[in-house]
Structure formats: C-alpha cells, structure tokens
Amino acid sequence: MVRFIQIVFLLTVLSGSAVEAQSGDRFWILWEKFQYAGEGCPNGPNCLVRRNFTSRLFPDVELSSIYRLFGLMDGSALAEGRLSEHPDAPRICQHNDAEVVLGFDPEALPKSEKIEALRGLKGVSFNLTKLKAPPGARNDFGPSLQKAFEARFRAAGLKILTPEQAKRTPGQPELAVFFAYTDPDGHCEYTYSVFASLSQTVLLTRDLRIKISAGVWAYSTKPPAGDAHGSEYDSILKIADALVKDYLSVNPKSQ
C-alpha cells in the first residue's frame, strides 16, 4: 500500500561569523511516500515501512502567513495535550541517520536467525597449516586438515579464498580455528578443546558509519569421554562438517 503525506517545515539558516551570526527562514513543502512490506502491517513486529521524501522550496512566501499557520497548529496540539512535533517527523537533518540513508529504519527489522549470516556466502578464507599438532600426531597434522577442509567446502560449493581475495569479497569472510590442549607432561589428565569462529564485516544499525569484523557463526567441541588421545583430528574436522551443514541449510544446492 502506498500513501502520500504533505508536510510543511521550517529551516533556519545561519551564516556569517560566530560573533555576528545572521539568521533567516526558508519554508519547504515535503512529500513523504511510504510503503508497507512484510506481515501484520501496519503495526505488526514483522512489518517494514519504506520511506522516500521529495522536497520543494516555497519561493517568495509571505512569512506572516506561515508563522500564523505554525502558531495555530502548535496551539491545537497544546489544547489536545500532544506534542507539536509529530513522532513520525522525518529526521532529515541527521545525514548519518540510518533511516535517512536506507529509506527505512533498520532498527525496525526483526532479528534474523544467526544461521542467516551464511546465506549468499560466496567463499571463506582460512589457514590451518600452522595449527599446533597434539602429542603423537604426524608432522602434517595442520596441512592435512587444511586439505580436508578445502575438499569439504568445495564439495558444498564454497570457494576457498586467499586472504587477499577475502578482502575483496563482500563481508570479507574469514574462518579462525583454535585448538588447545593440556601439557601432556604435567600433572593434569590430558584433554583438549576446539573452537572456531567465522567472521564477516557488519554495520551497526544505530550508526551505519561504524563497520567492524564480527563473529557471525561459531562452533566448539571437546573430546569424547575417556578418549582424548587420537581423536583431535576428527574433532577439528567436525568444524568443517558443521559449517557445511549450516551453509547448505540456507544455500541448498540446485538439483
């Protein structure tokens, strides 16, 4: 549904030095066009409102008439016990405001399931070749895992990106894998832990100027009970299996 609203607003212009500031008034007509999209509109939590604005300057307007109009509207609002400024008034002067940039308020969007961060993912960068091998493991522990991860990802349709390629890919996706184990020569029983995090670049909904790299997918595991030695390779490989499973759940392969 599309509707149109006309709003008249006042812009005060300041010029000159800080000591001798000059002021003036200009009046504009503002045309708001908005459209509902989603479910439960217009007030449902899953309803998105898209807004666009068009403005025109009133040339040679009679200031006294405009001032009188503002006064009448303010008086009417006061008599009805409401604010003069409408809560839906566009924040047109906040040029960094997300709603101004996008045409809708990103804070109004419902939160997505975390797995949605994998939808449309083109590839991933990672490096397991220097992963510290556990006691008794072969020297090619890391490189062997690297090849196994690559094979699984390619079979799922995920490209293997170099760090340079990842920087040029939307989201700059990077998978980090952490593997730690207790000192086998210490007094504690040997055990280990596995953790992985996939990071992508994101923008804050409250301020689109802020772009950071954030973890959007994670996986962790510990050794099977009483079977820590020799299970490290398979436990780390579960990261690839888990990522492929989640990736394919939102990016099904075409038949």
Q: Are residues 56 and 97 in the same domain?
A: yes
Domain annotation covers residue 255: no
Q: Are residues 163 and 89 in the same domain?
A: no
Q: Are residues 163 and 188 in the same domain?
A: yes
Among 108, 131, 156, the domain-final residue is 108
Q: Are residues 60 and 128 in the same domain?
A: no
Which residue do the tokens 């666009």 mark? 52
Q: Are residues 134 and 47 in the same domain?
A: no
Domain with 214 in it: what CATH number? Answer: 3.30.160
Q: Are residues 91 and 76 in the same domain?
A: yes
Please return the burial class of 49, using the count of CB atoms within 10 Å of its CB with bins 0-12, 13-18 and 19+: middle
Quote the number of domains for the chain: 2
Q: Is the pTM of this model over 0.85?
A: no
One-character DSSP codes across 5-35: EEEEEEEEEEES-SSS-EEEEEEEEEEEEEE
Among 65, 92, 108, the domain-final residue is 108
Domain assignment of residue 16, given as a range: 2-108
Among 78, 108, 138, the domain-final residue is 108
pLDDT, one tens digit for every residue, the chain (255 residues): 444 444 444 444 444 444 566 888 888 888 888 888 888 888 887 788 887 888 888 888 788 888 888 899 988 988 888 888 887 777 665 545 666 667 677 887 888 999 999 999 999 999 999 999 998 888 899 999 999 999 999 999 999 999 999 999 999 999 999 999 886 665 568 889 999 999 999 998 888 888 999 999 999 998 877 677 788 999 999 999 999 999 999 999 864
